[in-house]
Amino acid sequence: MAGHSVPIDFWVDPVKVVNPVERETILQDILPILEPYAGVLKKVTDAAIPGGNFVSIFASEDMTLSVKLYKNGLISCTLEYLVAEEAINEHKILIDDGRKIEEELKSKLSSSRAKVLTAIKRGPSINPYYTTSDDRILEYDIEKVLFVEKSPFQKVEIVQTKSYGNILILDDLQNLAESDLSYTQALMHKDKEDFKGKEVLILGGGDGALLWELLKEEPGFVTMIDIDEVVLKACRKYLRSACGDCLDNYKGKNYEIIIGDAIAYMKNYIKEGKKFDYVFADLTDIPISSSPRGQLWDFIREIMNLGIEVLKPSGKYMTHAIGIQCESALKMFEEQMSNLKRTVEFSRSNAFVPSFKENWCFYQITLV
């Protein structure tokens, strides 16, 4: 079994919440509006809560209703009920029902505004919820889990969706979907860069999508270094529309995939004097934090310093960042570029990524 929670919010004159008689009238007015969907609701309990606010609980045979009444006039209700796992996508209050409830609340309680949201799924065996880069909730139409394995580095999942194809999930964060060619092409700065005959280094990129698209550009040679072979194993089976067959073999006529630590390999490249025309950092996103401190920022700075060190003088360091709405994180990242060991300049581009449901920011960095 799983559950549904239907959020119902509306506003009333604050005086009605403070006055005990008016408050009880609000509760009694709500019930006939919701009972066509919930059944006969009977009060279980009510109580005052801190700050001069109140809560009441009702129950029918199949549903519970919690009503929180705030002294500023906000009434926040939650209608909850159990559903069978196979019926998790079958809503008892449909969109049109929600609109009807909103209009009835406005009319009956003289509410200035009301909103009924679609049911939130509670406790399903497959989590449908992820977030944008600035923590807005996204719900995916996931049909099933195709792959899940805990590697020594992270939890690796691939889920099948109706809207975006298969999606790679790393540590419970969406990473790349079959629908997301725009992400890969934006990272490449496609049609604005010439990769033909060039030496390219990919740091990370275990989903294989960047390697696959770069190989279409006839590069001289591409070296890809990713630490987690479990990601490659999962993607070559379940993300083939994104990565093609390039993960089937770790060596090809103009590419090599290395399973290992990119930092260690770059340090060796520096010792050997090996240089690249392009270095792609297809690794972690820019973190959201109050300051550029901590292990993740240290990792980003080290990767950038090493990646820029192995560039040819005319080379470019290319990386993804985070959603464009995360302005403080992007500003912080750009400030860090002024503190690198080498002097650089950068350009910035954006692209809408379907499965992320947001515009994403990408950087092209060159030596000065």
Ranges of the chain with pLDDT below 50: none
> Using the 8-state DSSP alphabet, how is residue 208 labeled?
S
**Cα–Cα separations (whole angstroms), residue 65 to 8, 55, 58, 261, 320:** 10, 10, 5, 53, 45
331 - beta bridge partners?
A: none
User: Any idea where the domains of the chain sit in the sequence?
Assistant: 2-122, 129-175, 177-367
Q: According to the model, what pLDDT value does residue 288 have?
A: 80
For helices 295-309 and 327-337, what crossing angle results, to 10°?
50
pLDDT of residue 289: 79
Strand partners, 352: 359
How many helical (H) and strand (E) elements, i.e. helices and strands, does the chain have?
Answer: 10, 21
Cα distance between residue 131 and residue 138, in whole Å: 5
CATH entry, 2-122, from 3.50.50.60, 3.40.50.300, 3.30.160.110, 3.90.1150.10: 3.30.160.110
- Non-local CB neighbours of 279 within 8 Å, separated by 6+ positions: 200, 201, 203, 307, 308, 310, 311, 315, 316, 317, 318
- pLDDT of 358 reads 96
Whole-number pLDDT of residue 135: 94
What digits encode the pLDDT tens for the residues 212-255?
999 999 999 999 999 999 999 999 999 999 999 999 999 999 99
Quickly list DSSP for 127-158: --EEE-TT--EEE--EEEEEEEEE-SS-EEEE
User: What local confidence, expressed as pLDDT, does residue 330 receive?
Assistant: 95
Superfamily of structural domain 177-367: Vaccinia Virus protein VP39 (3.40.50.150)
Q: What is the pTM of this model?
A: 0.92
In which residue are the tokens 């700065």 written? 189
Catalytic residues: 282
131-132-135-137 Cα dihedral, nearest 10 degrees: -50
Class of domain 129-175: mainly beta
Angle, nearest 10°, between helix axes 95-109 and 20-38? 160
Please give the structure tokens belonging to residue 3.
């559950």
pLDDT attached to residue 294: 83
Helix (H, G, I), strand (E, B) or coil at 366: strand
What is the DSSP code string of 84-112? Answer: -GGGTT--SS-HHHHHHHHHHHHHHHT-S
β-pair partners for 239: none
**Residues in Cβ contact with 98 at an 8 Å cutoff, skipping those fewer than 6 apart:** 116, 117, 118
pLDDT of res. 201: 98
Same fold, 129-175 and 177-367: no
Mention every residue, 6+ apart, whose C-beta is less than 8 A from residue 2.
Answer: 82, 83, 84, 85, 88, 121, 122, 123, 124, 125
Token duo for residue 113: 């505004």
Q: How far apart are the first and last CA of the chain?
A: 60
Give exposure, 204-232, as e/b (b: 16+ Cβ within 10 Å): bbbbbbbbbbbbebebeebbbbbbbbbbb
Residue 242 in tokens:
């994104």
